[in-house]
């Protein structure tokens, strides 16, 4: 990738500039005093890797794996179990989560505002996890893990859904851009590994010491979970899906489980205890090869979700 080193340098400088305010006190993410004394962190750059992948159709297949890794942490699982509407409003919750993620990447000046909104939303989310430990959604170890899961999933999924794996330079660029997302979410630099080399020991420690097959994990990967028909989109489409949903739900549930487990890094899959067979691995590789060839041939307006497509088009028009 051209200009990888230059982009990484600029992202690092942006992080160091924000880190002065972040590292000087004991404020948690979302603290008014912390937010009030530093400038908004910039979003990832339009010429970066996240602008290429985050809003593209293939990225939608990666999100369930990251979400499942998040709730494999007992504290995160308890917060979702106790406070989320993923059972009563799964499609609405998914739409809101996707919109939020896209805003972090493509939202420009709105990215930091979205980060502050999320921090405010999570201020009251607290309780006790399955092991009797108190949790708060904005506690840095838990909040940082929710953010951290994106990088290994993007990296792993690229091996299947892309034409080739990322190079070492591209992985460093992707991680530097993902750090920018963490800053937008209100995370302090001291709470996130600052390089890829620092990330992997942290990641393996989390797998070894924290992750488990929580009740929410089991609920997300089961094929017998009740899921209502989609309630978003044009009314005629919703009517058709509602009529056909009893026939569509079983294969959809199997496919969701397939991509959730398959696009999860193998070491995370093993740590959580999710099964994966050699035949499933072969099927995922075949599926990925088809997507890697077909999707790039489509017009960009069909490859990208609307928010990402509009942002990319506006950037090109203004360049």
- How is the chain split into domains, by residue range? 4-25+36-318
Tell me if residue 213 falls in helix, strand or coil.
coil
Mean pLDDT for the stretch of residues 41-62? 95
148 or 17, greater pLDDT? 148
Q: Are 140 and 4 in contact (CB under 8 A)?
A: no
pLDDT tens digit sequence for 204-238: 999 999 999 999 999 999 999 889 999 988 999 99
Retrieve residue 84's tokens: 């989320």
Q: Are 106 and 307 in contact (CB under 8 A)?
A: yes
With tokens 């070492």, the residue in question is 168
38 or 17, greater pLDDT? 38
The pLDDT, as a whole number, for residue 39 is 87
9 membership: H or E segment, kind and range: helix 4-23
Q: What single DSSP character describes residue 212?
A: -
Decide: residue 222, CB within 10 A, 0-12 exposed, 13-18 middle, 19+ buried: exposed
Q: Are 153 and 66 in contact (CB under 8 A)?
A: yes
The most confident of the ranges 12-26, 101-115, 225-239 is 101-115
Residue 19 has pLDDT above 90, yes or no: no
User: For residue 199, which of 162, 278, 144, 245 has the smallest C-alpha distance?
Assistant: 144
- pLDDT tier for residue 25 given thresholds of 50, 70 and 90: very low
Residue 23 has pLDDT above 50, yes or no: no
Q: Distance between CA 210 and CA 226 in Å, rounded?
A: 28
The pLDDT, as a whole number, for residue 28 is 53
Mean pLDDT for the stretch of residues 9-38? 42
What percentage of the chain carries pLDDT values higher than 70? 88
The pLDDT, as a whole number, for residue 253 is 96
What percentage of the chain carries pLDDT values higher than 90? 84
23 or 192, greater pLDDT? 192
Q: Distance between CA 72 and CA 302 in Å, rounded?
A: 33
Retrieve residue 127's tokens: 């309780």
User: For residue 178, which of 40, 22, 64, 45 has the smallest C-alpha distance?
Assistant: 45
- pLDDT tier for residue 33 given thresholds of 50, 70 and 90: very low
Tell me if residue 136 falls in helix, strand or coil.
strand
| pTM of the complete model beyond 0.95 | no
pLDDT tens digit sequence for 70-101: 999 999 999 999 999 888 899 999 999 999 99
With tokens 């504290």, the residue in question is 75
Average pLDDT value for the chain: 89
Retrieve residue 230's tokens: 């989609």
Tell me if residue 100 falls in helix, strand or coil.
helix
Alpha-carbon torsion angle 229, 63, 45, 47, nearest 10: -90
- Please calculate the CA angle 275-280-286 and round it to the nearest 5 degrees: 150
Retrieve residue 206's tokens: 């989390």
Residue 37 has pLDDT above 60, yes or no: no
The pLDDT, as a whole number, for residue 31 is 47
Name the CA radius of gyration of the chain, rounded: 19
């Amino acid at each position: 990738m051209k200009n990888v080193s230059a982009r990484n340098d600029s992202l690092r400088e942006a992080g160091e500039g924000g880190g002065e305010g972040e590292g000087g006190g004991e404020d948690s993410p979302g603290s008014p005093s912390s937010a009030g004394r530093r400038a908004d962190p910039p979003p990832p750059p339009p010429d970066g890797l996240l602008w290429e992948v985050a809003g593209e159709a293939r990225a939608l297949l990666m999100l369930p794996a990251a979400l499942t890794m998040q709730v494999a942490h007992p504290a995160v699982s308890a917060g979702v179990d106790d406070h989320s509407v993923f059972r009563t409003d799964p499609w609405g919750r998914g739409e809101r989560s996707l919109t939020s993620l896209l805003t972090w990447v493509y939202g420009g000046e709105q990215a930091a505002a979205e980060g502050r909104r999320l921090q405010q939303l999570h201020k009251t989310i607290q309780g006790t996890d399955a092991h009797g430990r108190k949790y708060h959604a904005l506690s840095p170890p838990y909040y940082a893990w929710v953010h951290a899961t994106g990088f290994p999933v993007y990296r792993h999924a690229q091996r299947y859904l892309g034409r080739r794996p990322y190079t070492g330079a591209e992985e460093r660029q992707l991680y530097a851009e993902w750090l920018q997302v963490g800053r937008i979410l209100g995370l302090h630099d001291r709470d996130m590994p600052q390089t890829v080399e620092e990330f992997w020991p942290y990641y393996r420690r989390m797998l070894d010491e924290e992750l488990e097959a929580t009740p929410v994990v089991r609920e997300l990967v089961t094929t017998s979970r009740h899921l209502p028909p989609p309630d978003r989109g044009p009314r005629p489409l919703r009517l058709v899906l509602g009529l056909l949903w009893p026939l569509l739900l079983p294969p959809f549930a199997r496919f969701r489980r397939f991509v959730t487990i398959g696009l999860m890094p193998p070491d995370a899959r093993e740590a959580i205890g999710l099964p994966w067979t050699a035949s499933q691995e072969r099927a995922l590789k075949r599926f990925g090869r088809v997507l890697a060839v077909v999707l790039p041939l489509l017009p960009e307006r069909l490859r990208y979700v609307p928010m990402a497509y509009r942002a990319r088009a506006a950037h090109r028009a203004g360049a």
